[in-house]
Structure 1
């Protein structure tokens, strides 16, 4: 039995790898390959998953938000790369097998074009992005035509590709999206959001030393050089919080991606009067008076131990909110984390995400959330509803295997 995973971004690779691990647990004889449309397939290589076709890191990182970024990708050989990738898919498709598209329209389009039977793990789009007020949607009373209107506005061309006879199943990222798609006749099933899997703490940071500190997550994002600007903005938010007269001691857990240059972040911290105190292979600890900031790659540790997040990221923010925790975002200048992106993310995450126009607003929003038990309970319920419980990767793998083993 042959299976090809096609994905188009770091978050999509992450989801694909989690599902592949579960498929291998079910049946180790399945011949699995992967084609990362964007990037060099770092996560696949790390998990010893064979790669198909050429792969290359492009300037956009798969996040094309304007013509200037598209031009940079084209200049670096985007069209030639996709042409070669398509040739590999055609070659792979000459034998029996199934394709699992993870992400959005590009892997979905390639899966449809292959004329093989395929699955679609839809993790990019949600009807929450489209609906101004999801609380007004009554699925039982919603007509098929109205559901189709919402689905087309949400998924655009993807919706029509999902109507393919070769599609064996769509796995949407949330229950509401599934119910809308199902209402229109799409072969959809909601089994949870696989982005919430593989997030178990690694216990790499000395959290027990800071039991009486307020723990705040810092997420500057992963795109370079935008992440450095975001970190600068977030540290301004930190300093505003420290100046606000709060008597508490703060621990800022800063989760950084492997591609970020530590030296750049250190220079920003030094300019804000943070002093490097301890450096190990797993973390670097800085102090500012009685407050502490940790730089680390141990993302799962950070999101599990933090109580509130200061976030300027995409998937990582969603995963933190999915644990039932509140996040505050500041409008950035992009190319990824812009005001428009933040407003769309607010629609997706609802009551769990708070938006600050600038770093000066952070203390006011923080004081509104912290120690407000009624609000925190509401946020906890909302986050888990929007992002789903863990275990989706296993459930999706089991469903895929149940269909293809026949």
Structure 2
């Protein structure tokens, strides 16, 4: 990647991220840089996992990468942490710190400007501090919404929960110390509320939105023309429910069983009564399945539940391999290549996913969440996510309760409006990655 020498092309930027979701956010920023006429030279050091997201974009990795037994979920469980320590976590971390420092000093020797972009939580932020180079931080793991909303602190079950923001912020004093160093040139929190709180300290926090909401454009134009018969069209249109079982095997397959119980309860309730003008059973379920998962694990349980393969559906997806099933006058579509369309077309989601649930809510729509067995989407995770997303995420204890929640949503259009505004406020406007690259060019370059 050779560019004519200029201030920006002298900049060499090392991305540090610690997890699959963090890699994806880092990669959005990489892609936004790649669209510029003079991007910096980019390198990556994924601290968890093997960094495939970077490698797919041709970004060289500078150190050892290794997948740990926990898959990066060590924060949720001390046993997972011990498995990772036995699996070589300490040696891996030390070798990664050495690789990063070697990289920084070799850039300096060759007269280049080395800088670090840490994406995730305190781990990459600490790495960036130890690098000796200028750095910036994209904080994906923490949000003030976990502990408070615009009106004040949230009620919490346990006493220990009060420690989460004992110092006046979800970010602890030691994290704020790392963010307020002279070498830390920019901090990008995940929402406006968190940015506002961090600005009470000498931290260069900038509110640019959340890169998670970038690159979600559907295949169809979003501008809908409102005509006199829009009311009629809306009533004739099927209700669309997006199904999000998560992306990690084998957990996603177990989540799917719970989601199908919720689907059965919804169908039963539609047959009982015509809810908000949707004719009984005139409903389409769109299952957005990660490309890495095996669809036969999803389809076999459909047949057991009385769904039959079908050739057409009231909605078409831009995925030639979409699988279509029908039961009475309800349809269920399974797609591995039309994620953006699945989340844009849905009126509501039944969700057991991390990132996908947040993106759905960020489009201004309600999601109904069912806590599973984990390791990721368990009760603790779902409860924390419901604080993060507020009124947009409705937690149910049992899959069968989803039907009652959906009926209530359809009968209260005013609450749907509040949910829409809430989701947009908590997840921010798209375009964050491009705004981050512009600030990084001026502050690190």
TM-score by length of 1: 0.90
1:262 Cα offset (Å): 1.5
> Who is 1:150 aligned against?
168
Question: What runs of 5+ residues in structure 1 fail to find an aligned partner?
Answer: 138-146, 204-210
Q: How has the CA–CA distance of structure 1 residues 401 and 183 changed in structure 2, closer, same or farther, with 3 Å as cutoff?
A: same
> Who is 2:414 aligned against?
374
**Which has the higher mean CA deviation after the structures are superposed, 69-78 or 296-305?**
69-78
Aligned mate of 2:87, from 76, 92, 95: 76
Structure 1 position 262 matched with structure 2 position 272: no
Q: How has the CA–CA distance of structure 1 residues 284 and 77 changed in structure 2, closer, same or farther, with 3 Å as cutoff?
A: farther
> Who is 1:85 aligned against?
96
> Who is 1:208 aligned against?
none
> Who is 1:124 aligned against?
141
> Who is 1:283 aligned against?
322
Higher-Rg structure is 2
Aligned mate of 1:176, from 193, 200, 214: 193
> Who is 1:340 aligned against?
380
Please list the CA deviations of residues 348-400 of structure 1 after superposition, one character each: whole Å capped at 9, or x if unmatched. Answer: 11111111111111111000112522111111111000000111111111111
Helix, strand or coil at the partner of 1:170: strand
Q: How has the CA–CA distance of structure 1 residues 257 and 150 changed in structure 2, closer, same or farther, with 3 Å as cutoff?
A: farther
Structure 1 position 296 matched with structure 2 position 335: yes
> Who is 1:135 aligned against?
151
Aligned mate of 1:232, from 238, 253, 257: 257
Alpha-carbon distance between aligned partners in 2 of 1:56 and 1:294, rounded to the nearest angstrom: 36
Q: Is the 8 A contact 2:267 2:281 kept in 1?
A: no
**Which has the higher mean CA deviation after the structures are superposed, 271-280 or 393-402?**
271-280
Helix, strand or coil at the partner of 1:107: helix
Aligned mate of 2:32, from 17, 22, 35: 22
> Who is 1:7 aligned against?
17
Alpha-carbon distance between aligned partners in 1 of 2:298 and 2:69, rounded to the nearest angstrom: 21
Alpha-carbon distance between aligned partners in 2 of 1:13 and 1:4, rounded to the nearest angstrom: 13
1:29 Cα offset (Å): 4.7
**Which has the higher mean CA deviation after the structures are superposed, 364-373 or 258-267?**
258-267
Question: What runs of 5+ residues in structure 2 fail to find an aligned partner?
Answer: 1-10, 108-112, 154-164, 221-235, 274-279, 313-318
**Which has the higher mean CA deviation after the structures are superposed, 280-289 or 378-387?**
280-289
> Who is 1:141 aligned against?
none
Alpha-carbon distance between aligned partners in 2 of 1:40 and 1:270, rounded to the nearest angstrom: 36
1:281 Cα offset (Å): 4.8
> Who is 2:243 aligned against?
218
Q: Is the 8 A contact 2:64 2:92 kept in 1?
A: yes
> Who is 1:67 aligned against?
78
**Which has the higher mean CA deviation after the structures are superposed, 29-38 or 66-75?**
66-75
Alpha-carbon distance between aligned partners in 2 of 1:322 and 1:102, rounded to the nearest angstrom: 20
Please list the CA deviations of residues 206-238 of structure 1 after superposition, one character each: whole Å capped at 9, or x if unmatched. Answer: xxxxx8321111111122221111111011000
Structure 1 position 398 matched with structure 2 position 438: yes
Helix, strand or coil at the partner of 1:168: strand
> Who is 2:58 aligned against?
48
Q: How has the CA–CA distance of structure 1 residues 52 and 80 changed in structure 2, closer, same or farther, with 3 Å as cutoff?
A: same
Structure 1 position 249 matched with structure 2 position 282: yes
Aligned residues: 387
1:28 Cα offset (Å): 3.2
TM-score by length of 2: 0.82
> Who is 1:309 aligned against?
349
Aligned mate of 1:384, from 409, 424, 431: 424
Alpha-carbon distance between aligned partners in 2 of 1:286 and 1:378, rounded to the nearest angstrom: 34
User: CA-atom RMSD, angstroms?
Assistant: 2.0
Q: How has the CA–CA distance of structure 1 residues 384 and 99 changed in structure 2, closer, same or farther, with 3 Å as cutoff?
A: same
1:278 Cα offset (Å): 4.9
Q: Is the 8 A contact 1:99 1:119 kept in 2?
A: yes
Q: Is the 8 A contact 1:148 1:184 kept in 2?
A: no
Q: Is the 8 A contact 1:330 1:356 kept in 2?
A: yes
